[in-house]
Amino acid sequence: MKEIGTAGYSHLILFCLVLPWAAVRSAAKLASLPYPPRQKFFIAVLLQHLFFIGVSVSVAWMEKIPLLMMPLNPILSVNLVVVVLATAIVFMLPRWRRNVENRERKVYLFMPRDSREKSLWVFISAAAGIGEEITYRGVMWVLLARLTGSLWIAALIASSIFAFSHYMQGWISIVAIFGFALGFHAVVWLTGSLIPAMLLHFLYDLMAGMMYSYYGEKLGYPLEGIPREAQTEREYETNENNETNEKDARC
């Protein structure tokens, strides 16, 4: 097992420690302030993913980590992408619709509405599919495997960090993302390549945004999003109803 150089340790510090901390801080900030204009937010996310790609490709080159190996079995790779993508979409469709029906405030950040926003979402999905697979399944997985001596312990750690770095989406989403991350690791392991996982990740993110857009238009989700005060009031009412139901049940 190869040792890790300075570039590798720097990558682990950035993506295992700094980025999750930044995700928690960003979530707290967004929860207490009005959301930024969606197009501005999309551009910031796109630039962030491009930064991830640049950093991780550079570290991969310095640490001699191969990134663009072709799949060992193209037919298996295509079948895996189709099966995993279909399973993920079937699992998430009711949740996407429910989030829109419940007027979840955070949905605004993942719901492209006009043609410009949808075009940006395509680029974001591609950048996330390429950048996050290179970062977490390409570079981080290999570096952690060198540290732990185990591919699967490394996969569990990398999946946990990947999920927690999506802290802004909430704890339920973090659990789901952890499961998806393990699935991406399995796809990479079975195919011997990051390319099928990149394609799968891109298609999933693209579908998520477009379905949010579809449900937003169909169910009348406000274009300007849900005000923070309205979300807080709705959560308070939900908690009050839950407490009332619990008291009735005890009686």
Distance CA 214, CA 186 (A): 31
251 falls within a domain = no
237 falls within a domain = no
Token pair, residue 69, equals 């190996």
Nearest-10 crossing angle of helices 195-218, 171-191: 150
58 falls within a domain = yes
Region 46-53: what's the mean pLDDT?
95
Query: Quick check: 55 pLDDT over 70?
Result: yes
* 131-153 burial code (b ≥16 CB/10 A, e <16): bbbbbbbbbbbbbbbbbeeeeee
Least confident of 30-44, 55-69, 204-218: 30-44
Domain holding 72, by residue range, is: 6-222
134 residue type, one letter = I
Q: How many other CB atoms are found less than 10 A from the CB of residue 123? A: 15
Backbone φ and ψ for 225, nearest 5 degrees, come out as 90, -175
Mean pLDDT (the chain, rounded): 89
238 falls within a domain = no
248 falls within a domain = no
Q: How many other CB atoms are found less than 10 A from the CB of residue 85? A: 17
In percent, how much of the chain has pLDDT > 90? 79
- Domains in the chain: how many in total? 1
Region 86-113: what's the mean pLDDT?
94
51 falls within a domain = yes
Which residue carries 């579809």 as its tokens?
A: 214
Handedness of CA 49, 50, 55, 57 (dihedral sign): positive
Measured in Å, how far apart are the chain's first and last C-alpha atoms?
A: 63
- Find the DSSP H helices in the chain: 6-12, 19-32, 38-62, 74-101, 115-132, 141-148, 151-164, 171-191, 195-218, 228-250
Give this prediction's pTM: 0.87
229 falls within a domain = no
240 falls within a domain = no
Contacts with 245 (C-beta within 8 Å, 6 or more apart), sequence order: none
Tens of pLDDT, residue by residue over 117-160, are 999 999 999 999 999 999 999 999 999 999 999 999 999 999 99
144 residue type, one letter = L
Backbone φ and ψ for 223, nearest 5 degrees, come out as -60, -35
